[in-house]
Amino acid sequence: MKTIIAGKNEAGQRLDKLLFKILKKAPKSFIYKMLRKKNITLNGKKAEGGEPVQPGDEIKLFLSEETIEKFTESYVIPLPEQETGQKEKKSSESFQVVYEDDNVLIANKPAGMLSQKAKETDISLVEYLISYLLDTKSITLNELETFKPGICNRLDRNTSGLVAAGKTLAGLKTLSELLRERTLSKYYLCFVKGEVKEEKKITGYLLKDERTNQVTVLKSPRENADYIETEYIPIRGNKDYTLLRVKLITGKTHQIRAHLSSIGCPIIGDTKYGDRTVNEKFKVKFRLSHQLLHSYEMVFPDRLEGELSNLSGLKLVAELPVYFENILKACI
């Protein structure tokens, strides 16, 4: 038997939706059968599954340990191993936290790390996030059965910088809403080919090829193409290269990379949308193998209400990686 007492992260959900998370590997038909047979109860009574769960509600699973284990997802987080076979780093050491409170966590993702898994065997930022929260006792394995913290904005694998994560349901909902409504401002630093002298807002239409995971920027609307807006300000540069501060207004796949490339200012190191000759030069000279694009700053709106009101007006910065700074010093 297993007993679950609903907390704030479970409250407001339908009972059946919550059970789908607890017994993630079980067929839905099995869960509804167990409800009908009173092998799963809500506050000691038979339930249909559509009941909204309230804080303090008691959910009992009158199932064998073997059945529960069979249908429950494991949350042991495997971290990369070195040649020695030892863990590369504990998550608390390799996971760089820029800001954290009871509801949210803002991390600085290094280039080369996935934001989310692309396949089951991947180790992504989400795995490091959960490992960190387990290490710091911010969440328990039992709590992970009913609620999984997650990230709210994604960066390309080879883009570094700030990623927002929700530690609680309130955190996930509020961050997702701010991003959807574009009231959480995000700024990037990128090093591009060519001389850029003026600040500018550029627009276009982005068409994604799902087969190649590559996008094309169009000047005119087309079916399945998304409207995009990008603002940039030159920080410093010369006739060959420029460091830009970019504000992402719309957030679409590869938007900054493809949009800047479409105006003749590709990001250095970008193997999909960049200049091959320039990229090869930087690869030889600096051993650079990815784009010089960094999610530098997040600015929260001034007036937030509710559980996340403490974030009102908060500005967070992730400093440039050392290799990025060194390339800038050598080039401009």
- CATH superfamily assigned to domain 91-180: Pseudouridine synthase (3.30.2350.10)
Asked which of 10-24, 71-85, 160-174 is least confident by mean pLDDT, the reply is 71-85
Could you name the CATH architecture of 2-71?
Roll (3.10)
Identify the top-confidence range among 80-94, 103-117, 138-152: 103-117
Instruction: Give the pairing of strands 40-42 and 2-5.
Output: unpaired
Confidence check: pLDDT of 81 > 50? no
Percent of the chain with pLDDT over 90: 78
Rounded to whole angstroms, the Cα distance separating 125 from 94 reads 10
- CATH superfamily assigned to domain 185-331: Pseudouridine synthase (3.30.2350.10)
Predicted pLDDT of residue 216: 96
Mean of the pLDDT values across residues 178-197?
Answer: 96
pLDDT averaged over the chain? Answer: 91
Rounded to whole angstroms, the Cα distance separating 114 from 96 reads 15
Confidence check: pLDDT of 87 > 50? no
Amino acid at 181: E
Confidence of residue 74 (pLDDT cuts 50, 70, 90): low
Sketch the domain layout of the chain as residue ranges: 2-71, 91-180, 185-331
Q: 234 is written with which tokens? A: 């030159």
Mean of the pLDDT values across residues 234-263?
Answer: 96
Global pTM reads: 0.82
Cβ atoms of 136 and 92 within 8 Å: the answer is yes
Check for a shared fold between 91-180 and 185-331.
yes
Give, for 91, the enclosing helix (H) or strand (E): helix 91-94
Predicted pLDDT of residue 77: 55
Radius of gyration of the chain (CA): 23
Confidence of residue 12 (pLDDT cuts 50, 70, 90): confident
Each residue of 117-146: pLDDT tens digit?
888 788 899 999 998 999 899 998 888 888
Confidence of residue 291 (pLDDT cuts 50, 70, 90): very high
Amino acid at 107: A
Rounded to whole angstroms, the Cα distance separating 112 from 158 reads 5
- Angle CA(104)–CA(108)–CA(110) in degrees, nearest 5? 145
Predicted pLDDT of residue 75: 57
More confident position, 55 or 243: 243
Each residue of 252-285: pLDDT tens digit?
999 999 999 999 999 999 999 999 999 999 999 9
Predicted pLDDT of residue 235: 98
Confidence check: pLDDT of 63 > 90? yes
Confidence check: pLDDT of 82 > 80? no
Confidence of residue 76 (pLDDT cuts 50, 70, 90): low
